[in-house]
A = this chain, B = another copy of it.
Amino acid sequence: MARFFNNRSRKVGLPPGSAIYTGKNQQGSSSMEILSFSPEAVEEKKTAEFDDILLLPHNRINWININGVHDVERVKSLCDHFEVHPLITEDILNTDQRPKLDVHENHIYVVLKMVEFLPDNAEIKMEQVSFIIGKNFVLSFQEVVGDTFNSVRDRIHARGKICGRGAEYLLYALIDTVVDNYFVALEKIGDEMELMEEDLMLNPDTESVRDLYTLKREMLALRRAIWPLREVIAQMEREDSRLVTKATKLYYRDLYDHMIQVIDTIETYRDLLSGMVDLYQSTISNRMNSIMKVLTIISTVFIPITFLTGMYGMNFDYMPGVSNQNGFWILAGVVLVSIVSMLFYFKKQGWFN
């Protein structure tokens, strides 16, 4: 559960706006990519440095992507260049943000979670992505290097519709990619749940209940990471800022519908998981009943007849029938009748179903 917080405690006592990275991988490489495009031209720089930013053309949309926000210096200098408020810079570096949208005079800040489901250990991997858009630029900050946005890059290189629109449409395209990945993750989780359900019905042991519990926990974390994004997108649709054009709002509305569907599915999954817990409990109770039935049948059949043999195992000098030549067989007959009538009784009670 420690995952719910990163190293947040190291910030206690510092003034607001202190630029401190709180994520996990404090080490590792960090890089910057620049993609500058207009309907006429597309220019890409894979490993850019800060100086490249100063030379960016103003009549194009400039998309600057940073992989690895643990490089605090790089993030800070970039944000300062684009006159981003220090509180936002702090938020970018603090990798346990809740998805949210902040509208400032000259830029809009969006933070959300990218999600990947690893079926091997039923783990949901999350990564924080921050976006800042201004009139003609989009900054994106990823925690680690990833290829999620490649499809957008391809569409730009292919001079798609995307090239003729503003920064806020690029932002839409990027968020849309993230949301599409939610669907992929949920599809995988759905498959996992189907396997789990079968497993639970066939073999309800401690292992499977633990897996179930783990998945419930993961869904809790997923819900927490995704749910607020709906409101973020709704805000973008309502936004009256000059940064968001009316034509693009239609796309945000479509995206909003997708989010509703994502959330709907998460809620349904949670309900299904609760139902699976009930199913598990019922199956266990049923098993217990079967086990007890076996024990009771065996005990009820054999304990009385064992008593009978005990009677004739006693060493009294005078015992009725011991000298009878058929004594043994008579007793054996009594035993047999008693067994059969017991079994008949249990059958009538429906214990063999």
Residues in A lying within 8 Å of B, measured CB to CB: 1-2, 4-5, 8-9, 11-16, 85, 87, 96-98, 100, 102, 150-151, 154-155, 160-162, 173, 176-177, 180-181, 183-184, 186-187, 190-191, 193-194, 197, 201, 203, 205-206, 209-210, 213, 216-217, 220-221, 224, 250-251, 253-254, 257, 260-261, 264-265, 268-269, 271-272, 275, 277-289, 291-296, 298-300, 302-307, 309-329, 331-332, 350-351, 353
Contacts and interface: CB of A to CB of B under 8 A. Distances in A.
A282 B209 contact: yes
Given A4-B268, A224-B264, A257-B98, A315 B318 contact: no
A2 B187 contact: yes
Contacts of A271: 220
A144 to B, nearest CB: 20
**Interface of chain A: mostly helix, strand, loop or mixed:** helix
Given A13-B177, A213-B279, A309-B314, 15 more contacts: A1-B190, A2-B187, A13-B154, A15-B162, A102-B253, A203-B350, A213-B275, A277-B278, A285-B285, A291-B296, A305-B307, A310-B313, A316-B321, A316-B328, A317-B322
Contact of A295 (B1, B160, B206, B295): B295
A349 to B, nearest CB: 9
A217 B213 CA distance: 19
Q: How many copies does the complex hold?
A: 5
26 contacts: A9-B183, A12-B177, A12-B183, A14-B151, A15-B160, A15-B161, A16-B251, A87-B250, A206-B283, A213-B279, A213-B282, A221-B268, A281-B285, A284-B286, A292-B296, A299-B299, A302-B304, A302-B306, A303-B303, A305-B307, A306-B310, A310-B313, A313-B315, A314-B328, A316-B327, A317-B327
Nearest to A195: B1
B280 A282 contact: yes
A15 B155 contact: yes
A184 B5 CA distance: 9
